[in-house]
Chains A and B, each alone.
Chain A
Amino acid sequence: MASPRPEARLEPWKDPAAEPYVRIEKVTKKFGDFVAVHQVSLKIYRGEIFCLLGASGCGKTTLLRMLAGFEQPSEGRIWIDGTDMTGIPPYERPVNMMFQSYALFPHMTVEQNVAFGLKQDGVPKAEIRERVAAMLDLVKLTPFAGRRPHQLSGGQRQRVALARSLIKQPKLLLLDEPLGALDKKLREHTQFELVNLQEKLGVTFVVVTHDQEEAMTLASRIGVMDHGEIVQVGTPSDIYEYPNSRFVADFIGSVNLFEGTLIEDEPDYVRVSAAELGGTFYVSHGVSAPPNATVWVALRPEKITISREQPAGDEDNRVQGVVAEIAYLGDMSIYLVRLATGRTVRITQPNIRRQAAVSAERITWDEEVWLSWDAASPVVVTQ
């Protein structure tokens, strides 16, 4: 797993004086009548690994292609390193891209593919050879240097594409689903390598993915996209713990969503009555919504405690139900508990002790249980 990076801890986006490396302002892209990207504004800072996360077809690649210069925005502007990119062709941008389809040159060897970018800049031959060798070493492709792309496996091709986009040491690297074709082990390894590279070369990454786990691992910040719009931007933990909408809460990780009515709204807490829950939520954060407004409460499965005994305390933040389903996943177990209202709630619990050792006291099917959670755990969203 990637460790938090010093840059990430510096959090330049919190500093209003910081100059963004990439500034996207109200960019819209239309294909005919179809709006692929709608009014996107983003600031991406030097040294960030910024992940664009969203469902298939939500406009991630299109946004990336506008940064690379393959598509012109229908509206809005893009600045890279303080320069307005309007009308600047791809071959003059300080940007390299790794394509979703790799786009390796089929008539060139791995080595020639990787060297291509340097050749365009008229780098001396000896230096090209040296840098290509070093890069192939980095992506562990040295034994394949003389092969053509069709003689490689999917994962190897992906690494060639990565090497080719890295060789020029661009200031801004755009990666479109860089790790999709890799197996889980190699994927984690390459994620780690990417983070290392980023530290070593000081490159700013914009990474497109629809794998939320990958985004969580890699990103300094995540931009969640939905139907061409950026719906939330934040650090992985911001996005996970404080989603700003039902869509984000639902998209990142799994969540139990309850529709409810705001019955008490104070600056430091709210109380929501949820018919589906058959009870009330007491949430220790304020909400900006009119009284009696319809809101949604998002509760993560791992933040719910499941027990046979009735929890102590008052009536809020607990509910009774019957275990309908249990799935044992090794590192954790998933419980589906049916409430009196008919609603099913998902709970995950880490398997701290071995299952066999606790089989007698383990909660099983059809048992009556109590669910409870902390007041700080639920998140109230208004849209």
Chain B
Amino acid sequence: MVAQGGPSTLFLAGLRGWIRAFGPYRWASDRMKDWGIGGRTLVIGIPYLWLLLFFLVPFIIVFKISLSDVRLGMPPYEPVIQWVDSQVIGIRMNLANYAFLFEDPLYRNAYLNSIKVAAISTLLCLLIGYPLAYGIARTGASWRNLLLLLVMLPFWTSFLLRVYAWIGLLGRNSPFNQLLLSLGIIDQPISLLQTDIAVYIGIVYSYLPFMVLPLYANLEKMDITLLEAAADLGCRPTKAFLTITLPLSMPGIIAGSLLVFIPAVGEFVIPALLGGPDSLMIGRVLWEEFFNNRDWPVASAVAIAMLLLLVVPIMWFQYAQARQVGVHR
């Protein structure tokens, strides 16, 4: 894309000039240059430092807890590192918590179920989101922004509230039930609450915008003349979609899918509020271990295992992106 020039670049140039003339800035930037740190390193480095710090520190804490034993009291676990006497440090590592995860089928089932629910929800989001994003990307510019705004509108209200609202919509006294009853289509109210279907509805509803937005961003910048070129070479519209549009929108599909899949795997609120007692998802298991069983070490092991489970798709995403960069630059 060619950068749009005009007022904003002028403004930036002015701002830059003003900052350059500013004494302390010059001094600081000269010192930085002496150390071989440029502006780019700085703007990338600071946020990363922040992210790393607040990802790594909790991770280490949790990891440490996962290696310890339960005990009664506060904190409810044994310290891993102990002073045996004033000079010797004793490290007690306890991998039993991880072994326990493999032994008890509850955890394996919870993991597998989480992945299944997340995968199906992602697929449903893709099936609903792709045509939606495609439609928005192909409407006239005047309507496009309104439609996008409507996709993002739910974010204006709290996530929790919206999930609560579904309790009302899926329960026995929901407006749907009343409508169906009054029309005589059903004679018993149907409740979807506490079923897997309710969980799917909740997840798909909540995460759909995360699928639509990256897909839209991708489809919107696609060059329509490519489809004309395909048609010109004898390609029918359906086939042109499959051979041109779909492969070119792969980065959008991957980004959207990961944005839905990753949080959905660890989702706690939706299964807790809408799902039944048997809709076992890892987020819920985690909550129960921490707060009902007060077994922090096992809970931490569950959390670490979940993280590893999510790192794999993230790495795959990175790999896929790196490959896509080669295609599009």
A117 interfacial contact with B, CB 8 Å: yes
Q: Which residues of chain A have C-beta atoms less than 8 A from B229's C-beta?
A: 97, 99, 103-105, 164
A95 to chain B, nearest CB (A): 7
A269 interfacial contact with B, CB 8 Å: no
B247 to chain A, nearest CB (A): 5
The residue that A120 contacts in the complex, of B228, B235, B327, with Cβ under 8 A, is B235
Chain A 49-75, CB-CB to B under 8 Å as 1, else 0, gives 000000000000000000011100000
A148 interfacial contact with B, CB 8 Å: yes
B88 interfacial contact with A, CB 8 Å: no
Interface residue ranges of A56-114 to B (CB < 8 Å): 68-70, 89-91, 95-97, 99, 101, 103-107
B223 interfacial contact with A, CB 8 Å: yes
The complex places the Cα of A99 from the Cα of B248 at a distance, in Å, of: 19
CB within 8 Å for A116 and B228 given contacts A106-B248, A106-B327: no
The residue that A121 contacts in the complex, of B228, B231, B234, with Cβ under 8 A, is B234
Interface residue ranges of B232-262 to A (CB < 8 Å): 232-236, 239, 244, 247-248
Flag if A91 contacts B226 (CB, 8 Å): no
A303 interfacial contact with B, CB 8 Å: no
The residue that A107 contacts in the complex, of B231, B232, B234, B247, with Cβ under 8 A, is B247
Flag if B234 contacts A168 (CB, 8 Å): yes
Chain B 153-178, CB-CB to A under 8 Å as 1, else 0, gives 00000000000000000000000000
- Of the four ranges (under 10, 10 to 19, 20 to 34, 35 or more), the interface on chain A belongs to 20 to 34
Flag if A116 contacts B225 (CB, 8 Å): no
Q: Which residues of chain A have C-beta atoms less than 8 A from B239's C-beta?
A: 120
CB within 8 Å for A150 and B232 given contacts A103-B223, A105-B226, A107-B247: no
Q: Which residues of chain A have C-beta atoms less than 8 A from B40's C-beta?
A: none
The complex places the Cα of A198 from the Cα of B184 at a distance, in Å, of: 73
The complex places the Cα of A73 from the Cα of B216 at a distance, in Å, of: 31
Flag if B328 contacts A106 (CB, 8 Å): yes
The residue that B234 contacts in the complex, of A68, A105, A120, A148, with Cβ under 8 A, is A120
Flag if A117 contacts B228 (CB, 8 Å): no
Q: How many residues of B contact A (CB 8 A)?
A: 20
Chain A 154-185, CB-CB to B under 8 Å as 1, else 0, gives 00000000001100100000000000000000
Flag if A120 contacts B329 (CB, 8 Å): no
The residue that A103 contacts in the complex, of B228, B236, B248, with Cβ under 8 A, is B228
CB within 8 Å for A103 and B235 given contacts A116-B230, A148-B327, A150-B329: no
The complex places the Cα of A99 from the Cα of B230 at a distance, in Å, of: 11
Q: Which residues of chain A have C-beta atoms less than 8 A from B226's C-beta?
A: 103, 105-106
Flag if A164 contacts B233 (CB, 8 Å): yes
The complex places the Cα of A89 from the Cα of B236 at a distance, in Å, of: 9
Q: Which residues of chain B have C-beta atoms less than 8 A from A69's C-beta?
A: 231
The complex places the Cα of A154 from the Cα of B247 at a distance, in Å, of: 24
The complex places the Cα of A117 from the Cα of B231 at a distance, in Å, of: 9
Interface residue ranges of B41-62 to A (CB < 8 Å): none
The residue that A96 contacts in the complex, of B225, B232, B327, B328, with Cβ under 8 A, is B232
Flag if B231 contacts A105 (CB, 8 Å): no
Residue of A nearest to B240 (CB): A91
Flag if B235 contacts A91 (CB, 8 Å): yes
The residue that B225 contacts in the complex, of A91, A103, A107, A148, with Cβ under 8 A, is A103
The complex places the Cα of A114 from the Cα of B244 at a distance, in Å, of: 14
Flag if B232 contacts A68 (CB, 8 Å): yes
Interface residue ranges of B27-81 to A (CB < 8 Å): none
Flag if A107 contacts B233 (CB, 8 Å): no
Q: Which residues of chain B have C-beta atoms less than 8 A from A165's C-beta?
A: 232
Flag if A90 contacts B248 (CB, 8 Å): no
> Which of A69, A91, A96, A148 has most chain B Cβ within 10 Å?
A91
Q: Which residues of chain A have C-beta atoms less than 8 A from B228's C-beta?
A: 68, 70, 90, 99, 103
Q: Which residues of chain B have C-beta atoms less than 8 A from A89's C-beta?
A: 231
Interface residue ranges of B292-329 to A (CB < 8 Å): 326-329
Q: Which residues of chain B have C-beta atoms less than 8 A from A121's C-beta?
A: 234
B140 to chain A, nearest CB (A): 12
Flag if A117 contacts B233 (CB, 8 Å): yes
Interface residue ranges of B112-132 to A (CB < 8 Å): none
A103 to chain B, nearest CB (A): 4
> Which of B235, B247, B328 has most chain A Cβ within 10 Å?
B235
The complex places the Cα of A85 from the Cα of B225 at a distance, in Å, of: 21
The complex places the Cα of A91 from the Cα of B239 at a distance, in Å, of: 11
Q: Which residues of chain A have C-beta atoms less than 8 A from B236's C-beta?
A: 91
Flag if A91 contacts B327 (CB, 8 Å): no
Flag if B329 contacts A91 (CB, 8 Å): no
A146 to chain B, nearest CB (A): 13
The complex places the Cα of A165 from the Cα of B236 at a distance, in Å, of: 17
A82 to chain B, nearest CB (A): 20
CB within 8 Å for A116 and B248 given contacts A101-B225, A103-B225, A148-B327: no
Q: Which residues of chain B have C-beta atoms less than 8 A from A95's C-beta?
A: 232
Chain B 199-235, CB-CB to A under 8 Å as 1, else 0, gives 0000000000000000000000001011011111111
A residues apposed to B, CB below 8 Å: 68-70, 89-91, 95-97, 99, 101, 103-107, 116-117, 120-121, 148, 150, 164-165, 168
Q: Can you name 23 A-B pairs with beta carbons within 8 Å? A: A68-B232, A69-B231, A91-B231, A91-B234, A91-B236, A97-B229, A99-B228, A101-B223, A103-B225, A103-B226, A103-B228, A103-B229, A105-B226, A105-B230, A106-B226, A106-B327, A116-B230, A121-B234, A150-B327, A150-B328, A150-B329, A164-B229, A164-B233
B residues apposed to A, CB below 8 Å: 223, 225-226, 228-236, 239, 244, 247-248, 326-329
Given A91-B235, A103-B225, A150-B328, 6 more contacts at CB 8 Å?
A: A70-B228, A97-B232, A105-B229, A107-B327, A120-B239, A148-B326
Shortest beta-carbon contacts, A-B, top 9: A117-B233, A120-B234, A103-B229, A90-B231, A103-B225, A91-B231, A120-B235, A97-B232, A107-B247
